[in-house]
Structure 1
Amino acid sequence: MSFTVCDGRLLRDDRPFLVQGVDYHPSSAGCRIWTEWDPGAIAHDFERMAEAGLNTVRFFVFWRDFEPEPGCIDMDMLERLRHVVDTAAQAKLACVISLFTIWMNGQLLDLPWRQGRSLWRDEDMLALEEKFATAVAREVGGCDNVLAFDLGDEIGCVDPVEAAASTAEQIADWQARLAAVLRLEAPNVLVLQANDASGVLGPSPFGADNSAALDLIGIHGFPVWAPGSIESTLSFKATNLTSFLVRFASAYGVPLVDELGSYGVDDATAAAYLRASAASAIGNGASGILVWCWQDIAAEAEPYADRPMERFAGLHRLDGSAKPVMREYRRIIGAATELATRRPRPSVAVYLPQRVRAHSGSYLDSGTATLATFFSYLLLKRAHIEFDIVADDLTGYDLVICPSVAHVTLLDLRKLHAVCARGGTVYFSLGDHIHGFPGEPMVGAEIVDYAPPSAGKSAFSWDSDEWTIDWAATRTRTTTLRPTTAEVIGRYLDGSPGLLQRRVGNGRFLFTNAPFEAQLDRPERLTAAPWERFYRRIAALAGVAPVAACPDPDVEILSDDRDGCRRLVLINHGVTPSDTEISWGGATARVELTTKDWTIVHVRPEEADR
């Protein structure tokens, strides 16, 4: 038996496998699972997981417990690890094993002998890591319920300064080196790297776009720690965050949400957050979900003495009773295969330029620009326009969206020119007027100069539509354009060009010097006005229609065709209930959804033709 990935899907013995599980520490022992050994408690917890319908458990190998002295691996600890894996097998649970666990719940549970040496660049440490990985893989790699080895939970947090000093190439080499060791001993086990949101929305070299050596890309969905203006756990942005991270990671590999949860909220809020975010993540292509975490923690030892509130993020209370969030998770589990859509290829792509996640290497660089990608994602969702997020091949897309671009390369420009040459439409908004400007030949205009924001450029209009621009919300300088060969289709209040259209090949290039997406990064701004109308108009120019007509922008619509039937997965990301009408293909349905709720609508062909 083996786990593999093929065509963007996770398989077990060549059959689709959707991870539905939890992250796990025993409640009484917490992070001392290996030193305060209680196999009976672990077996009891695993049996309860299986009874709840879960199929996977993720747990953590605290390296210091297994290797108290450099090169001296404790064989008793390896036997305990094997016992946990075998116990999971008895409960029919697959295992995700996090190696090299040092960082946990905001604290370092460090090796006393590491003495600050780099995990990624120190050759002596690398040799010890290879030896430890080999020992673990030999012990459990032959177990047919081991799904994946995680190289280390949020391992960049072990030494943030050293991680920032490491290049993407060095981290990629580290991942490839350890993955090769693990695969040599355990060829049927996958390899992933579990990263927080900085792997997409920040400059960390541990990123979704730096994962070529990995089989799965780990995603963590905690809105409270995500950058940007996420107003609350129940905001529209919050419950769309994880699915965005999934779609972003899908541009580079197969995403697995290996941590999903909420902190600092009451039971009802936690349940509502999981209800919408989990349904959306599965519907948007996650290979599965592991919820943080199984049960509240009774242990008071490190890291809980320092961060006691980390103890109360469980699906169950200390007495073992289920919280409302667990009831919602069981509902998700019961419908998971229905929620997992196989979307037909859309005609719209959000393009990720080569340098979209580059960190500032010098005064010339603008920094990470993926928050603008997030807002582009949100606008398309609110406009009900289906799309892919694409980092490479743009062949076959009728509309390519490049949001608030801070850095564009010659290769990027060649790809975009090819889209236009074959008759497609490219929409490009400016995020940096030096390194993000596509050039006069593409735009059909030149930049005259930059200046401080002024009332004259506080809004631009396109026919009867007008959009305000909050320049202060971005790093983009306010510029003035001088058209050369482009047609002006939108103007600022001062009369200067704000939106240009130029014929390129058989297609068109639409350009605005306003950072339209990035300037939405203010609390409440996204939902305060119908910004998605701008995207609908751009899509209409490209001949692209919404997947369905729906007047409520808070409702996400995912569709696919299965067994001759059209299915619509509808998720209300709004902070209030939704009572709306969905129309598509000649069919209409009235849908009522409570706050953060979801439903699945099936439509037979004969109904759609009426």
Structure 2
Amino acid sequence: MTMTILDLHGGFRRKGASFVPMGANYWPGSCGVEMLQAWPSDEIRRDLDLAAALGLNTIRYFARWDHLEPRLGSLDQRMVGRIAEFAGWCGERGLLAHPCLFVGFMSGGHFWPQGMAGRNPFSDPFLIERGAALVQAVAEHLRPHADHLLALDLGNEPSAIDAAASAGPVATAAWCSRMVATAKAALPGLLVCVGNDQNQVVGDRGWPFTAQADCDFLSMHGYPVPGWHPIPFDGMADPLAGDLLPAYTACARAFGPVLVQEFGTIIGNGPERMRVWLERTLDGCRAAGANGFLWWCLRDITARCHPYAKGGFEQRLGLLDAQGRPRPGTEPFWERLRTWSALPCPPPLPCGEVAIYWPASRDRRDPVTDVGNTSEALGQRLLSCWHALRTAGYAPVIARHDQTLPDLPLVNPGAAVGIDEARRLVAWVRQGGRLLWHGIDHATVGEDMEALLVARPIDHRLPQPVELPTAAGPVRCAAYPRQVCLEMDPGPAEVLARDPRGIPLAALSANGAGRILWSPALLDAAGAEPCNRLALAAWYREALARLI
């Protein structure tokens, strides 16, 4: 038995050779989410024939929990068998199968077995046992097809399920650990993941990367729809749109190997703009360390059942058109399929020029560790920072607070830190680190923060709109942590800019063998305004030149 494995660099390997999954997600166009019950076997096999003929190598497909277990307590073995049958059809055509279980959420619809009302699948003991029973049954049925499995996906976007948010990361981590262990006991060597989206970065939805520590790799989903992200952009041709999925991917890559498991343009009728977005997105994700790419989805969905009756956009997002031809505008994907799937080397480990800091606390769930950060606000500023650095010509990476910080300039786009974290940053800077810090949270400034900034607070001032001059025009900003402008005595620092009241707006200090450049304002919040983006990029270029 030759199963898919991961190498030390986070890339997939099969039969001793590197393997890059380049494929698509799949529902049959005729029935969509009703696949397991409708089971249009001829249509499925024709679509798999076409996928293989076009050079795709991986298919992610789905099983609704309510189809596998219509009433809690009794699995429908016929439906479970169809998951394995689909995997067998993939193997016959040289495709890798990537089955996804626990599809409680899909395309705007929610699907649960009878008896689930008011119960939480991630914390209810009985539902956890039913989940483990389902995972075991599916893994056992997949044993004959182990040679042509990519991995088992435990669920489609569980971060979109309110139950995960209410259960919280401790419960989801325990659930994940139980399901992974169950799957691997039933089918040793099986790779396992959870199919999550950008809410791992920009939302407190119960599925941080740390809750998936027992998974073999992480996933990332993302699409160029402004309302689905915490920072505005103006369509696919906006460069910011093409930087978002790479930024999310880089965040995941800081915690483990990452598969871009779902992506696509959603609208399939604007080929020129599709090409612009795909080129920037695909190359950016690959540079961020992505180990594979699966389009959403192979076919347009023509079914009119729920949830498609209320979501007509699913009818025009297939990688292929109604005649089975690659949709115009998708050429960048096909070009990279031919190149990347033939690469003999593993995906590149991210090798950046500037690091963005990932803090210890990113939500307000634990009163002991809560320093005021929220995933939504941190995520927005991280995306703004990432895009500004890319625009300025830098290749950014993510640096975790709990790992050795890289020998790169480090940017903190407004994350508050506790005293232990500040103490570690002081030691790093004094040993030669270069730190750019935006947003000084008055509630966290004590001796350690003063030692880090080489400055001390002297007053709490009202926040006022300010303009930080750059070669590309001023960065206009009115955002401060907790709506307080902390006036700092800069001491020996070189003050680079002051606000109209004379309060230091940017200052550069030596600190041991290192340097720190700080601003009390949340400058990265300004990047949410399109008019500020070029100026913010210029600020980064100028500030980093001073630090380096």
Structures share fold, TM-score greater than 0.5: yes
Task: Choose from 521, 524, 532 the match for 1:517.
Answer: 524
Distance 2:347 2:185 in 1: 34
| Equivalent position of 1:352 in the other structure | 358
| Contact 2:26–2:61 (Cα < 8 Å) also in 1 | yes
One-letter code aligned to 1:77: M
| Equivalent position of 1:50 in the other structure | 52
- Matched residue SS, 1:89: helix
- Matched residue SS, 1:393: coil
Distance 1:537 1:513 in 2: 17
TM-score by length of 1: 0.82
Q: Deviations over 1:453-501 (max 9, x none)?
A: 33xx512348x88633321598653332222454423322332211222
Distance 2:110 2:511 in 1: 55
Distance 1:156 1:198 in 2: 7
| Equivalent position of 1:470 in the other structure | 477
Q: Say what the alpha-carbon RMSD is for the aligned residues.
A: 2.5
Task: Choose from 407, 410, 414 the match for 2:419.
Answer: 410
| Equivalent position of 2:101 in the other structure | 99
Paired residues, number = 534
- Matched residue SS, 2:150: strand
| Equivalent position of 1:608 in the other structure | none
- Matched residue SS, 1:65: helix
One-letter code aligned to 1:477: V
| Equivalent position of 1:421 in the other structure | 430
- Where do residues 53-452 of structure 1 align in structure 2 (5 Å cutoff)? 53-142=55-144, 143-158=146-161, 160=162, 162-224=163-225, 225-264=228-267, 266-268=269-271, 269-336=273-340, 342=348, 345-346=351-352, 348-355=354-361, 357-359=362-364, 365-368=372-375, 369-391=378-400, 392-405=402-415, 407-430=416-439, 432-435=441-444, 439-452=449-462
Once structures 1 and 2 are overlaid, which stretch shifts more, 300-309 or 19-28?
Answer: 300-309
Distance 1:427 1:371 in 2: 18
| Contact 1:431–1:476 (Cα < 8 Å) also in 2 | no
Distance 2:319 2:350 in 1: 35
Shift of 1:292: 0.4
| Contact 2:481–2:521 (Cα < 8 Å) also in 1 | no
Distance 1:64 1:347 in 2: 48
Distance 2:318 2:258 in 1: 23
| Contact 1:64–1:111 (Cα < 8 Å) also in 2 | yes
Distance 2:406 2:78 in 1: 56
- Matched residue SS, 2:305: coil
Once structures 1 and 2 are overlaid, which stretch shifts more, 480-489 or 213-222?
Answer: 480-489
- Matched residue SS, 2:539: helix
One-letter code aligned to 2:463: P
- Where do residues 532-571 of structure 1 align in structure 2 (5 Å cutoff)? 532-543=537-548
| Contact 2:193–2:218 (Cα < 8 Å) also in 1 | yes
Shift of 1:383: 1.9
Shift of 1:435: 3.6
Distance 1:538 1:45 in 2: 53
Shift of 1:148: 1.2
Distance 1:345 1:308 in 2: 41
Distance 1:194 1:67 in 2: 21
Distance 2:350 2:171 in 1: 37
| Equivalent position of 1:602 in the other structure | none
Distance 1:111 1:97 in 2: 19
Q: Cα–Cα, structure 1 residues 315 and 486, in superposed 2: closer, same or farther, change >3 Å? A: same
| Contact 2:431–2:513 (Cα < 8 Å) also in 1 | yes
One-letter code aligned to 2:489: R
- Matched residue SS, 1:324: coil
Once structures 1 and 2 are overlaid, which stretch shifts more, 177-186 or 275-284?
Answer: 275-284
Q: Cα–Cα, structure 1 residues 265 and 344, in superposed 2: closer, same or farther, change >3 Å? A: closer
| Equivalent position of 1:458 in the other structure | 466
One-letter code aligned to 1:503: A
One-letter code aligned to 2:98: V
Distance 1:436 1:332 in 2: 48
Q: Deviations over 1:327-365 (max 9, x none)?
A: 33212212225698636744532111111x314667973
TM-score by length of 2: 0.91
Q: Cα–Cα, structure 1 residues 239 and 316, in superposed 2: closer, same or farther, change >3 Å? A: same
Shift of 1:50: 1.1
Distance 2:284 2:396 in 1: 15
Greater strand proportion: 1
Distance 1:59 1:127 in 2: 24
Distance 1:151 1:98 in 2: 6
Q: Cα–Cα, structure 1 residues 476 and 372, in superposed 2: closer, same or farther, change >3 Å? A: farther
Aligned-residue sequence identity (percent) comes to 25
Distance 1:408 1:23 in 2: 40
Shift of 1:512: 1.1
Once structures 1 and 2 are overlaid, which stretch shifts more, 219-228 or 240-249?
Answer: 219-228
Greater helix proportion: 2
One-letter code aligned to 2:334: R
Q: Cα–Cα, structure 1 residues 232 and 447, in superposed 2: closer, same or farther, change >3 Å? A: farther
Once structures 1 and 2 are overlaid, which stretch shifts more, 464-473 or 325-334?
Answer: 464-473
Shift of 1:371: 1.6
One-letter code aligned to 1:379: A
Once structures 1 and 2 are overlaid, which stretch shifts more, 61-70 or 386-395?
Answer: 386-395
- Matched residue SS, 1:33: helix
Distance 1:424 1:299 in 2: 57
Shift of 1:366: 4.2
Distance 1:440 1:266 in 2: 55
Shift of 1:436: 7.4
| Contact 1:460–1:493 (Cα < 8 Å) also in 2 | no
Q: Cα–Cα, structure 1 residues 466 and 436, in superposed 2: closer, same or farther, change >3 Å? A: farther
Distance 2:268 2:320 in 1: 15
Shift of 1:265: 6.2
Distance 2:459 2:262 in 1: 46
Q: Cα–Cα, structure 1 residues 328 and 486, in superposed 2: closer, same or farther, change >3 Å? A: closer
